[in-house]
Every structure is written in structure tokens, then in C-alpha cells.
Structure 1
């Protein structure tokens, strides 16, 4: 399935460093729109349901990024 993944945060540089071209066994992200300074939009390819994908992305960032605990951000999958 193809989803739109919106990420919002004040420190998008660190979020983009992690998620640009992100791919694991459950999802592949491709940059769609980065024209806004506090929001970035990706196209996500995944077999997971929308809620499962949103939780997977949040968990991946929390466990794999050294910046996740210091940043305020939101991830929404549509």
C-alpha cells in the first residue's frame, strides 16, 4: 500500500537526516515535499496498516536515532 507520511517538528534537519531514503523490512520512504521549514512529507510503501505504520515509524525513530528523545515531533500517516 502507498501512504502519505507527514512529519512535523522544529528541528527538521535531524528528522530528515534519519528518514530521507529510510528503508527497512517494513517500509520504504521517498521524499515528496520539503518546501515547509517545519513539515516534511514522504511517500511510504508498506504492507502494514496505517496505524501500524505510524507506530513503526515512531518506534524506529525513538530506538535508532540519538536525537529522538530531545526533539518534539509528530508523525501522521494518511
Structure 2
């Protein structure tokens, strides 16, 4: 499982997709989520504004699984 470290309280699912190079701009998030399954904590998610926080697990089938880590809590 890949770790994605954030230095804010949360990131949105759209921001996350950009961070892991799935999309190149925020405008593509809506399209990507409409066309592909994305699971957050084992639940299907299609809201690009979904807030991802420390320890949330994001699964992108055929891409991989990611865990969100807070940079300040991991010190």
C-alpha cells in the first residue's frame, strides 16, 4: 500500500487524484469519478469534494491502494 503524506487537515478526493497523477487538472476529477470506481474506506465514492483525512484508505482498481498520512502526526 502506498502512503500519501499531507501537511494539511485534509485533502479533497479531487486534489488526491492530482497528487497521485491520475488526472492532470482539477476539472478532470468529475469525469474520472463518473467513469471509474473509486473506493474510500471500502465504500464506493463519486464526490470530488470528499475530504480525505489521516488514515483514510483510497483504492483505485487497476492503479493501487493508498493510505493518507498526516505529516505532523507521523513525526
Q: Assess same fold via TM > 0.5.
A: no
Bigger strand fraction: 1
TM-score of the two chains, using structure 2 as the length reference:
0.32
TM-score of the two chains, using structure 1 as the length reference:
0.31
Bigger helix fraction: 1
